[in-house]
Chain A
Amino acid sequence: MAAGYRTHVSIIADILYTAKQYSYEGYESGATVTHLIRKANVPHQRLSSIVPTLTQSGLLYEDSAKYRISEKGIEFLKAYSEFKGFAETFGLRV
């Protein structure tokens, strides 16, 4: 993987961060697919394959075609941030 590409886990984290932003920062209705595509910078085709997995895993939940982050998703982001720092100390990406 070249240095400029995001890892799969990083893309998941970006999606969750976007959903979190639209879940709590004055946007209580949640993030639409368009929000996720634009803010997380993920193409629709890839997003379509990732979001169902995140929903099934309980990291996101869908409400009227909008996605909000769950408590489990918030825990995942905390863990991601922690282990991202751990991996970066070795010069690696999580």
Chain B
Amino acid sequence: MVEVLFELPMNLLGLGISAFIGRFAYSGYTTVASPNLLRLTFAFVSIATGFALIAGGLFAGGYSQAMTTAGLATQAIGYFFIAFSHSLKSFDFSPSRSFLFLPLAVTGFVIPGNSIEHLVRSISFILLVYVSIETMASYMQNRRTSTLMIGSGLGMLAVGELMSWYNFIYPGSFYVAALSIKVAGFGLMFVPFSKFGLASGLGRMNSQIGSGL
């Protein structure tokens, strides 16, 4: 019961933040018709859906584990969309970016095959590490504080995912810390975004602008 009282509001907070960012990204896509904004929309809607499934799993009784796994898989899909956007941006195989493939190189040693949830958590961790590194690389280029915060937030998500994976193997070890770090990572990502969302009134929804582009 204590776990539910802690985990439910944390998941709802993550759901709210992700849905907010996804809503803004969607308004951007409808306005300027950018494929990257569409991918960000899919990403954060997937992450928000994942949080919703995980929160719903707390009350699902016998289906709790299945819903939790489905929620984690949905979040992994969201992380994939973000990683895909970064891979399209940096797909030039320049030597300075070669190290970004390191997370993919360790895939063979990290991804287990004995459990779907292990598989999902490991893939999420790898994708988050990749996206975090890519975002930090972008920060090294543009030196924007907001990019640093997003990269740090994604890094915290990766750490939280790793700790929750460890907690999955050894239950009770890092349960509270993992979820707290994960939500704190989303909170850190929300901070630079909040000036856009609040300034434009939850995003601009003018479907006339940008249509037909």
List residues of chain A with CB under 8 Å of any chain B CB. Answer: 1-4, 7-9, 12, 53-54, 56-59, 72, 75-76, 79-80, 82-83, 85-94
Contact = CB atoms under 8 A, between A and B. Distances in A.
The interface residues of chain B, by DSSP majority, are classed as helix
A83 B32 contact: yes
Given A79-B210, A87-B34, 11 more contacts: A3-B90, A76-B31, A76-B32, A80-B32, A87-B36, A89-B147, A90-B85, A90-B135, A91-B147, A94-B34, A94-B36
A4 B91 CA distance: 11
Interface in B95-138: 134-135, 137-138
Contacts of B149: 89
Nearest to A4: B92
B37 A83 contact: yes
A87 B138 contact: no
B209 A79 contact: yes
B74 to A, nearest CB: 20
Contact of B86 (A12, A56, A91): A91
B196 interface: yes
A88 B142 contact: yes
Interface of B: 24-25, 28, 31-37, 40, 82, 85-86, 88-92, 94, 134-135, 137-139, 142, 144, 146-147, 149-151, 192-193, 196, 200, 204, 206, 208-213
A76 B82 CA distance: 25
B91 A86 contact: no
The interface residues of chain A, by DSSP majority, are classed as helix
Nearest to A87: B36
Nearest to A81: B32
Contacts of A56: 212
Contact of B33 (A4, A9, A86, A90): A9
* Most chain B CB inside 10 Å of its own CB: which residue of A9, A82, A89: A89
Nearest to B210: A76
A7 B135 CA distance: 19
B92 A93 contact: no
A88 B24 contact: no
A90 to B, nearest CB: 6
Given A3-B90, A90-B40, A94-B32, A76 B209 contact: yes
Contacts of A89: 144, 146-147, 149-150, 192-193
Given A79-B204, A83-B28, A91 B151 contact: yes
A75 B209 contact: yes
* Most chain A CB inside 10 Å of its own CB: which residue of B37, B139, B147: B37
A86 B135 contact: no
A3 B89 contact: yes
A45 B32 CA distance: 23
A90 B34 contact: no
Contacts of A54: 213
A90 B154 CA distance: 10
